[in-house]
């Protein structure tokens, strides 16, 4: 997820039990221009494997060249192609979900990448179920991708027109999973271990992908694993443990130097902090305060206050 699954957060998700990770998407053109910032998006640690680097673009040959360059730099476990991004800036350049409307161009992109990396790494794809409700074509698109040599397909059960609103349509995801011979990964609205277990039980998907829920609750991977393996939902994560992780995330981000100095790093993390704290008692007040933080020490003070308040409430 762009702006979310950076080097540091992927490490956290891995610790929490995520099996497979994918980088934030990068543009093929950015890679080919060897833009230093774009290259940074493709970095990962050995502990994060298996990792895929996700590419977007609309030119098969350029995408193939970019994929090869990424393999030279980082040797990811797979290259993933984005056919799902709904953002205007990407769609306007024929990237992301706009390719769902143009099957020949989508096939050219997929073939270009598959051919360029043949014998090196597998190619996977992430798609939405269609452009809008009138043109849901996920089964046909998935078959095209398989014909092009794509080896795993992740399906986000929304149309481009839905953006992130409404509900993911798991019937369509299930239909895709039943229609193609490659593993299909279902995605959309999974927020708990119970959600994961239900979709695994009720559909033919080979696996599931968790997006937004992980932003505030990376423990969701641990919970899903517990439910799938032992059939038991673990007790809720304690507030102290949540704050410990928030602070660790902040300290790792500052120490990494990826986002500038401490003030710049913490400022850039404010939305992330709000996501973590959404479910905390007094979240409304916390949000106001988190809007202003510029240093780890301020977040430490907020953590102490929040834990203290919760303890008082428990006693009361």
Ligand X SMILES: Cc1cc2nc3c(=O)[nH]c(=O)nc-3n(C[C@H](O)[C@H](O)[C@H](O)COP(=O)(O)O)c2cc1C
Chain position whose Cβ is nearest to ligand X: 211
Cβ atoms of 18 and 52 within 8 Å: the answer is: no
d(CA 84, CA 99): 9
Q: Is 187 a residue that touches ligand X (CB under 6 A)?
A: yes
Region 32-71 residues binding ligand X, contact defined as CB under 6 A: 54
For ligand X, which residue of 10, 14, 24, 57 counts as binding (CB under 6 A)? 24
d(CA 287, CA 176): 40
For ligand X, which residue of 82, 97, 124, 306 counts as binding (CB under 6 A)? 82
| CA atoms within 13 A of residue 314's CA, in its CB half-sphere | 8
Cβ atoms of 296 and 262 within 8 Å: the answer is: yes
Q: Closest distance between ligand X and the C-beta of residue 313, in Å? A: 31
For ligand X, which residue of 213, 246, 275, 299 counts as binding (CB under 6 A)? 213
For ligand X, which residue of 1, 161, 239, 289 counts as binding (CB under 6 A)? 1
| CA atoms within 13 A of residue 113's CA, in its CB half-sphere | 34
Q: Closest distance between ligand X and the C-beta of residue 34, in Å? A: 20
For ligand X, which residue of 69, 212, 222, 251 counts as binding (CB under 6 A)? 212
d(CA 74, CA 13): 20
For ligand X, which residue of 142, 190, 269, 286 counts as binding (CB under 6 A)? 190
Token pair belonging to 199? 């979709």
d(CA 147, CA 158): 23
Q: Is 124 a residue that touches ligand X (CB under 6 A)?
A: no
For ligand X, which residue of 3, 234, 236, 308 counts as binding (CB under 6 A)? 3
d(CA 240, CA 149): 47
Q: Is 207 a residue that touches ligand X (CB under 6 A)?
A: no
Q: Give CA separation, 286 vs 20, 169, 240, 252, 315, in Å.
A: 33, 34, 15, 22, 21
Contact characters 225-264, ligand X, x per CB under 6 A: ----------------------------------------
| 129 Cβ neighbours under 8 A, 6+ residues apart | 136, 137, 138, 155, 156, 157, 158, 159, 169, 172, 173, 176
Contact characters 144-163, ligand X, x per CB under 6 A: ------------x-------
* Options 2-10, 252-260, 269-277, 296-304: segment touching ligand X (CB under 6 A): 2-10
Task: Please indicate whether residue 85 is annotated as part of the active site.
Answer: yes
Q: Which residue numbers are catalytic?
A: 85
- Interacting residue ranges for ligand X, rule: CB under 6 A: 1-4, 24-25, 54, 82, 84, 126, 156, 164, 187-190, 210-213
């Amino acid at each position: 997820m762009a702006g979310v699954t950076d080097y540091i957060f992927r490490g956290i998700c891995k610790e929490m039990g995520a099996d497979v990770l994918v980088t934030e998407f990068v543009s093929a053109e950015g890679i080919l221009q060897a833009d230093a910032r774009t290259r940074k998006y493709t970095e990962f640690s050995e502990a994060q494997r298996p990792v895929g680097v996700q590419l977007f673009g609309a030119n098969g040959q350029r995408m193939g060249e970019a994929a090869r360059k990424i393999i030279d730099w980082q040797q990811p476990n797979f290259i993933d192609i984005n056919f799902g991004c709904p953002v205007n800036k990407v769609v306007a350049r024929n990237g992301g979900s706009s390719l769902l409307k143009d099957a020949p161009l989508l096939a050219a992109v997929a073939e270009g990448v598959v051919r360029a990396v043949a014998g090196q790494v597998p190619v996977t794809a992430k798609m939405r179920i269609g452009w809008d409700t009138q043109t849901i074509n996920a089964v046909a698109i998935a078959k095209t991708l398989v014909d092009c040599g794509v080896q795993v397909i992740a399906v986000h059960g929304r149309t481009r027109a839905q953006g992130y609103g409404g509900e993911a349509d798991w019937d369509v995801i299930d239909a895709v999973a039943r229609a193609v011979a490659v593993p299909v990964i279902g995605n959309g609205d999974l927020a708990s271990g119970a959600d994961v277990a239900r979709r695994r039980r009720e559909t033919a998907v080979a696996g599931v992908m968790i997006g937004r829920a992980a932003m505030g609750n990376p423990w969701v991977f641990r919970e899903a694993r517990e439910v799938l393996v032992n059939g038991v939902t673990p007790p809720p994560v304690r507030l102290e443990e949540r704050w410990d992780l928030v602070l660790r995330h902040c300290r790792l981000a500052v120490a990494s130097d990826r986002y500038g100095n401490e003030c710049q790093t913490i400022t850039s993390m404010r939305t992330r902090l709000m996501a973590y704290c959404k479910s905390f008692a007094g979240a409304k007040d916390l949000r106001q305060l988190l809007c202003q933080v510029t240093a780890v020490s301020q977040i430490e003070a907020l953590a102490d206050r929040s834990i203290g308040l919760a303890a008082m409430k428990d006693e009361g």
